[in-house]
Amino acid sequence: MPQKKVLVLTEQFTNEDTLFDPLREAGYTVEVNETGRLPDEAKLREMLAQDVVATIAGGEPYTPAVIEAAADLSIIARWGVGYDKVDVPAATAAGIPVAMAFGENHESVAEYAHAMALSLACGLGRRDAMVKSGSWSFDGFHPGLWGRTAGLIGLGRIGGAMARRLKGQGMEVLVADPALDAATAKAAGVEAVDLGTLLTRADLISVHAPSTPQTRHMLNDDTFAKMKPGAIVVNTSRGPLIDEAALLRALESGHLGGAGLDVFEVEPLPGASRLREMPNVILSPHVSGMDRMAEARVTGRCVSNILTWLHGDPAELQPYVVNPQTLKNKESAR
């Protein structure tokens, strides 16, 4: 009888990684994606066709067709906190829980967003390039961040961790989040405002919202025009939240002071993108949540979620599953 398999489809691991040993010790064959790229829909259907009971998922597309073809798939354990690449209704209909790693890498993402903001506000990129090229001169006062106003779009775990960092350096922090109540805002030491107010008052705008049809291109020509001249925009959440063509227009006109982007509308970022040419833009390849702490914590949560679903009490997955109906169905079948 073929041994059941767990596929690790994210791009950052190898088959030698010991983080997956608990799965091996439980009797599963672990196959790690070592190609450096995510499978497309056709390849994923092929990979999941037989004997795969679980995946540790990256950003590959779990479409209805993929889920229908995955005859043995029992759980999708997402390495991270976003699930816009998973058709959750299709997974739910198939009885497959989509289990996240909530609470494991939010500090990592916030730290990265903060580093991008500081680098842009202090002009580190251009000054590093200047000195390395052999020049040495005063190139103007940089805006800095301390004593200024930050605007966070979203105050979930990552937004909250970002708020702590910004407040710690003496910034006033505004938050636009329809789910934010007065008590939570007070406890976090932030001011709850509507998006329009945030755009007009903030020197730094950091995006920490999910990708949904309602949030697609929430930053666009109109919203960029409302921002303060010289404002900095940072996005470590999901690329589709920003209209990149509009962002380029705002940067090229000089209205925006800079942008830090770890996520993009199309990933990998197309080679012809003019964002690559902008001196006041920092780009990175969707890695903000991948520090060493997150490597162990997020992977451990994925492994634990898989083993709990296959061998433990499904109720223990309640805090991590985005389609909890699957847990109830398994409970009633026990």
If asked whether residues 84 and 122 sit together in one domain, one would say no
If asked whether residues 91 and 128 sit together in one domain, one would say no
286 belongs to the catalytic site:
yes
Decide: helix, strand or coil at residue 157. helix
What number is the average pLDDT over the span 188-205? 98
Q: Band of the pLDDT at 175, cuts 50, 70, 90?
A: very high
If asked whether residues 76 and 196 sit together in one domain, one would say no
**pLDDT score, position 332:** 65
If asked whether residues 317 and 221 sit together in one domain, one would say no
Residue finishing a domain among 246, 264, 283: 283
Is the pLDDT at 247 greater than 60? The verdict is yes
Number of domains in the chain: 2
Q: Which of 267, 274, 276, 331 is catalytic?
A: 267
If asked whether residues 173 and 319 sit together in one domain, one would say no
Is the pLDDT at 329 greater than 90? The verdict is no
**pLDDT score, position 131:** 97
**pLDDT score, position 328:** 87
165 belongs to the catalytic site:
no
301 belongs to the catalytic site:
no
Q: Which of 106, 148, 238, 301 is catalytic?
A: 238
| Ramachandran bin of 2, using left for φ above 0, alpha for ψ from -120 to 50, beta for the remaining angles | beta
If asked whether residues 132 and 222 sit together in one domain, one would say yes
What number is the average pLDDT over the span 25-52? 96
If asked whether residues 234 and 144 sit together in one domain, one would say yes
Q: Could you give the CA distance from residue 171 to residue 208 in angstroms, rounded to a whole number?
A: 18
**pLDDT score, position 140:** 96
What number is the average pLDDT over the span 178-190? 96
Q: Which of 45, 157, 201, 286 is catalytic?
A: 286
Q: Residue 279 is part of which domain span?
A: 106-283
Residues 6+ apart with CB under 8 A from 48: 7, 55, 66, 69, 70, 73
Q: Could you give the CA distance from residue 68 to residue 288 in angstroms, rounded to a whole number?
A: 32
If asked whether residues 265 and 135 sit together in one domain, one would say yes
What number is the average pLDDT over the span 217-234? 98
Which pair of tokens denotes residue 133? Answer: 């090229």
The pLDDT > 70 percentage for the chain reads 98
What number is the average pLDDT over the span 5-18? 95
**pLDDT score, position 265:** 96
Which CATH number goes with the domain that contains 91? 3.40.50.720
Q: Say if CB 18 and CB 65 are below 8 A apart.
A: no
Q: Band of the pLDDT at 300, cuts 50, 70, 90?
A: very high
Helix (H), strand (E), coil (C) string for 185-224: HHHHCCEECCHHHHHHHCCEEEECCCCCCCCCCCECHHHH
If asked whether residues 41 and 51 sit together in one domain, one would say yes
Of the CA atoms within 13 Å of residue 213, those in its CB half-sphere come to 0
Mean pLDDT for all residues in the chain: 96
If asked whether residues 96 and 146 sit together in one domain, one would say no
Decide: helix, strand or coil at residue 234. strand
Q: Band of the pLDDT at 334, cuts 50, 70, 90?
A: low
The model's pLDDT over 107-166, given as tens digits with 9 standing for 90+, comes to 999 999 999 999 999 999 999 999 999 999 999 999 999 999 999 999 999 999 999 999
If asked whether residues 100 and 114 sit together in one domain, one would say no
Which pair of tokens denotes residue 298? Answer: 């997020």
Q: Band of the pLDDT at 3, cuts 50, 70, 90?
A: confident
If asked whether residues 133 and 276 sit together in one domain, one would say yes
Residue finishing a domain among 283, 300, 315: 283
Residue finishing a domain among 246, 266, 283: 283
Which pair of tokens denotes residue 246? Answer: 């509009």
